[in-house]
Copies of this chain bind each other. A is one copy, B any other.
Amino acid sequence: MSDNQQIHLTRRPQGMPQAGDFSFVEAQMPEIGEGQALVRTLYLSVDPYLRGRMSDKKSYVAPFEVGKMLSGGIVGQVEESRTPSLARGDIVTGHLGWQRYAAVTPGQVTKVDPTLAPISTALGVLGMTGLTAYFGLLDIGRPKEGETVVVSGAAGAVGMIVGQIARIKGARAVGIAGSAEKTEYLIRELGFDAAVNYKNDNFREELEKACPQGVDVYFDNVGGEVSDAVLAHLNKGARIPLCGQISMYNLEKPDIGPRIQPQLLINSALMKGFIVGEYAARFGDGVRELAGWLKEDKLKYAENIVDGFENTIEAFLGLFSGENVGKQLVKVAEPR
């Protein structure tokens, strides 16, 4: 066995990704030059949006290259340093390659304060996931006290934080998820006011019952027919942050559905796509407020941690089966 291992994209997935689209490649231990540090991967984040980068369609980030290493959010530990900015033992996070070891410059990573919360949260509630929920909901959704906020993919990493922030802001939180266990969990554990299972035959009626005052904010993680159902209940002046369209990611051609413009028009509603990177200048404020809510126990999070680098692909594929609750992570190694 070699010192390092990487995960490469072997071919572009057609429709639903399969294990054969990826390969594990033995690699040399990276050598660090002056000004660099060697980081050992501890946690690796698998996220639905990565599916988009595996296609060569235009998207909000450049596609991965076939035959090259994949990348994503990583939490790691500095093993060796040739820069004064990083010390051996430091915990850091950044967008890095899917490999066991990486040579990084200080600009590629951010230090993680391990006293604030478990370090894995730097990939979840205190990282891109939490910030995506925070900025999408507060900047585009702008929920007001007493309004109804509906979130799809509510048991997912972003969705569960959206609903809780909606509650913190005094709004009514209604989650949409894909099993009775998940809807139970949202209501019992996370304090959602209501939650509806989109796989139920009477989903549309249940949704209507869960939103007796209509829908003021719809935070959309999934798209497709679930969203069609929500858009039928928009209130005047509704806001719709478009965060993801997971139901679309594995389709081979554009999906067809009822046109939504008439609904937006008659309600003077706003729909806006976003990516969290657009809010980079305000990340510090976001993390501070999220950490405060965690500390006050107003905000809970859930992680689903798969053990072992070798199980990364399985963890990624699992995102599309609708089974996971909360943030999906892979634990690659223990901190020393």
Contact = CB atoms under 8 A, between A and B. Distances in A.
A139 to B, nearest CB: 12
Nearest to A61: B266
Nearest to A264: B273
B269 A272 contact: yes
Interface size class of A (residues with CB under 8 A): 35 or more
B262 A259 contact: no
Contacts of A236: 60
Copies in the complex: 2
Contact of A257 (B60, B245, B256, B264): B256
A271 B271 contact: yes
Nearest to A255: B259
A234 to B, nearest CB: 10
- Looking at A224, A259, A266, A278, the one whose CB has the most chain B CB atoms below 10 A away is A259
Nearest to A263: B273
Interface in A121-169: none
Contacts of A274: 268
Given A243-B265, A260-B261, 15 more contacts: A59-B266, A60-B268, A220-B261, A223-B262, A244-B265, A248-B259, A248-B261, A254-B258, A255-B258, A255-B259, A264-B272, A268-B272, A268-B274, A268-B278, A270-B271
